[in-house]
Every structure is written in C-alpha cells, then in structure tokens.
Amino acid sequence: MAYRLAPPCCRSDWDEYHRIRQEVLLESQKYALEHPDEEDEPGHHPLLFWQDDRPIGTIRIDELGDGAAAMRLVAIDPALQGQGHGAALLTEAERFARALGCGRAVVYSTTEAIGYYEAGGFTEDEWADCEIAGVAQMVKALG
Ligand SMILES: CC(C)(COP(=O)(O)OP(=O)(O)OC[C@H]1O[C@@H](n2cnc3c(N)ncnc32)[C@H](O)[C@@H]1OP(=O)(O)O)[C@@H](O)C(=O)NCCC(=O)NCCS
C-alpha cells in the first residue's frame, strides 16, 4: 500500500479533488474558513492524496514566504476516515513542504481537529494573534 501526494493534473483529478472536499463539507460542516482554489497561483499547491490508484484526500499547501508552509483544506474522504490515512497525509505533506525548502508547517485548525494535529506533532502557537473564533493556529518544525 503506497501513499503519494500529487498536483491534480487532468479534469478527472480535479473532479476528485472537488468531490472529496464537497463530501467532507457536507459530512462534517467543519470548514469555517473559505479558501478559493488558486489553481495557477504561484506558491499555492492544491494536492490530491492517493492510496495506490485511489484518490482518498486533499490538501492545499501554501508557501508563506518566511520559510513556513501553511497546510489548508486538509480532508480525507468521509468513508475512509479513522483508518490512519489522515496521519499519512500529514507525513506526505511535510515531505512536500520540506522539498519546497520550508522549515516550518503551520495549520489553522478547527477546535474539533486539534487532536488530529497534536497526534501529528503540531503544537498550539502561543505567539499567534489568530483572531478568528474557533480556530487554533498550530505549528511544527520540519526536521
Ligand atoms: C481530520 C482528518 C483529516 C483526519 O483524518 P483521519 O484519516 O480520520 O485520521 P487518522 O485516522 O489518520 O488519525 C490520525 C490520528 O489523529 C487522531 N484524530 C483524528 N481525528 C481526530 C479528531 N477529530 N480529534 C482528535 N484526534 C483525532 C487519531 O486518533 C489518530 O491518533 P493516533 O495516531 O494517536 O492514533 C479527517 O477526519 C477529516 O477529513 N475531517 C474533516 C475535515 C477536517 O476536519 N479537516 C481539518 C480541518 S482544520
């Protein structure tokens, strides 16, 4: 069983990317933050997460320009959650961010997802001035 993270490269990849995000939205109603898909914008990397030949999740990694990468729109297909895929997604996302030259990962977590990021080694950023209610800024150094 192999995981990989790759930019959507054809219409059907984009359809899967949007399908997973839609289903996560409908299932959990968890996305408080709106992030448009800057499909061609430099420094923004919408990515589809694959297990073998099956797309099972999405993430968008944004280069923040200060050596940090923001991990946004983290989602695993609702039918496949709770099986370790989300942990694998974070591992692959960290590898991707390191390859971009980033030394730090930042997430803006909903209250419900804090435990997921803690399990992945993120800690709440006590210096953050995140004013949005119900969102925690969390960080992890990328070794
Ligand atoms: C959050 C999400 C990506 C996790 O994916 P997943 O495949 O269910 O997670 P995993 O099964 O790999 O779990 C990994 C670890 O995180 C923990 N975890 C997962 N979801 C959690 C949650 N909501 N609260 C607390 N801990 C959680 C698991 O217990 C596991 O811990 P362990 O390694 O100590 O056993 C997925 O549930 C999802 O897409 N949720 C809806 C969208 C969302 O909330 N995204 C984050 C928004 S900021």
Mean pLDDT of 26-48: 68
CA of 52 to the centre of ligand 1 (A): 20
Q: What is the pTM assigned to this prediction?
A: 0.92
CA of 94 to the centre of ligand 1 (A): 16
Q: Which residues pair with 61 in a beta bridge?
A: 45, 71
Q: What percentage of the chain exceeds 90 in pLDDT?
A: 71
Per-residue confidence (pLDDT) for residue 75, from 0 to 100: 94
Residues 94-120 pLDDT 10s: 999 999 999 999 999 988 899 999 999
Q: Tell me, what CATH number does 61's domain have?
A: 3.40.630.30
User: Does the beta carbon of 51 sit less than 6 angstroms from any atom of ligand 1?
Assistant: no
Q: Determine contact, residues 85/43, Cβ cutoff 8 Å.
A: no
Q: How confident is the model at residue 29 (pLDDT cuts 50, 70, 90)?
A: low
Q: How many domains does the chain have?
A: 1
Q: How confident is the model at residue 140 (pLDDT cuts 50, 70, 90)?
A: very high
Q: Which of 116, 117, 118, 124 to mutate to test the pocket of ligand 1 (most atoms within 8 A of CB)?
A: 116
User: Does the beta carbon of 30 sit less than 6 angstroms from any atom of ligand 1?
Assistant: yes
User: Does the beta carbon of 142 sit less than 6 angstroms from any atom of ligand 1?
Assistant: no
**Does 16 have pLDDT greater than 70?**
yes
Per-residue confidence (pLDDT) for residue 126, from 0 to 100: 75
How far is it, in rounded angstroms, from Cα 39 to Cα 46? Answer: 7
Q: How confident is the model at residue 32 (pLDDT cuts 50, 70, 90)?
A: very low
Residues 74-85 pLDDT 10s: 999 999 999 999
Question: DSSP string spanning 50-85?
Answer: EETTEEEEEEEEEE-SSSEEEEEEEEE-GGGTTSSH
Going from the C-alpha of 66 to that of each of 81, 102, 115, the distances in angstroms are 32, 8, 26
Domain that holds residue 20: 3-141
CA of 113 to the centre of ligand 1 (A): 6
Q: How confident is the model at residue 33 (pLDDT cuts 50, 70, 90)?
A: very low
How far is it, in rounded angstroms, from Cα 16 to Cα 18? Answer: 5
Give the E-state strand segments of the chain in sequence order: 3-6, 44-51, 54-63, 68-76, 104-110, 123-124, 135-141
User: Does the beta carbon of 91 sit less than 6 angstroms from any atom of ligand 1?
Assistant: no
